[in-house]
Chains A and B, each alone.
Chain A
Amino acid sequence: MSAVTTRNLPKNSSRKPGLTPNGRKRNSLSKGHLPRWATPGIAAGSLILGAAASTLGGFSVVTFAIFTAIIFVVASAIITTVVEGSRRGKNALATHLVYAAFLLALIPLVSVLFTVLQKGLPGINMHFLFHSMNGVTGAIDNASVENGTPVLGGAYHAVVGTLLITMWSTLISVPVGMLTAIYLVEYGKNGPLARAITFFVDVMTGIPSIVAGLFATALFAVIMGPTARMGIVAAVALSVLMIPTVVRSTEEMLKIVPNELREAAYALGVRKWRTIAKVVIPTAISGIASGVTLAIARVIGETAPILVTAGLANNINVNVFGNWMATLPTFIYYQILTPTSPTNVDPSIQRAWAAALLLILMVMVLNLGARLVASLFAPKKGR
Chain B
Amino acid sequence: MSKRIDVKDLNVYYTNFLAVEDVNIEIEAKSVTAFIGPSGCGKSTFLRTLNRMHEVIPGGRVEGEVLLDGDNLYESGVDPVTVRSQIGMVFQRPNPFPTMSIRDNVLAGVKLNSKKISRSDAEDLVEKSLRGANLWNEVKDRLDKPGSGLSGGQQQRLCIARTIAVKPQVILMDEPCSALDPISTLAIEDLINELKNEFTVVIVTHNMQQAARVSDKTAFFNIAGTGKPGKLIEYAETATIFSNPTVKATEDYVSGRFG
Contacts and interface: CB of A to CB of B under 8 A. Distances in A.
State whether these chains interact.
yes
B202 interface: no
B149 A381 contact: yes
Given A264-B162, A267-B88, 17 more contacts: A260-B91, A263-B56, A264-B91, A265-B108, A265-B112, A267-B84, A267-B89, A268-B84, A269-B81, A269-B84, A269-B85, A270-B108, A271-B113, A275-B112, A279-B97, A382-B146, A383-B149
A132 to B, nearest CB: 45
A382 B146 CA distance: 8
Interface residues of B, number: 32
B98 A283 contact: yes
A258 B95 contact: yes
Q: Which of B51, B113, B162 has the most CB of A within 10 A?
A: B113
Contacts of A381: 98, 146, 148-149
B253 to A, nearest CB: 28
Contacts of A268: 84-85, 88, 108-109, 112, 162-163, 166
Contacts of A265: 97, 108, 112
A380 B159 contact: no
A292 to B, nearest CB: 18
A379 B97 CA distance: 9
Interface string B56-90: 10100000000000000000000001101110110
Interface string B101-140: 0000000110111100000000000000000000000000
The size class of the interface chain A forms with chain B is 20 to 34
Interface of A: 189, 258, 260-271, 274-275, 278-279, 282-283, 379-383
A260 B95 contact: yes
A266 B84 contact: yes
Contact of B112 (A258, A278, A383): A278
B175 to A, nearest CB: 13
Main secondary structure of the interface of A (DSSP, over half): helix
Interface of B: 51, 53, 56, 58, 81-82, 84-86, 88-89, 91, 93, 95, 97-99, 108-109, 111-114, 145-146, 148-150, 159, 162-163, 166
Q: Which of B51, B56, B86, B163 has the most CB of A within 10 A?
A: B56
A383 B147 CA distance: 9
Nearest to B149: A383
B97 A270 contact: no
Contacts of A274: 112-114
A270 B58 CA distance: 19
Contacts of B108: 265, 268, 270
Given A263-B91, A267-B88, A269-B166, A279 B112 contact: yes
23 contacts: A189-B58, A264-B95, A265-B108, A266-B53, A267-B51, A267-B53, A267-B88, A267-B89, A267-B163, A268-B108, A269-B81, A269-B85, A270-B108, A270-B113, A271-B113, A274-B113, A274-B114, A279-B99, A283-B98, A283-B99, A379-B99, A381-B146, A383-B149
Nearest to A190: B58
Contacts of A261: 95, 97-98
Nearest to A381: B148
6 A-B pairs closest in CB distance: A269-B85, A267-B89, A383-B149, A268-B109, A379-B98, A260-B95
A3 to B, nearest CB: 32
B13 to A, nearest CB: 17
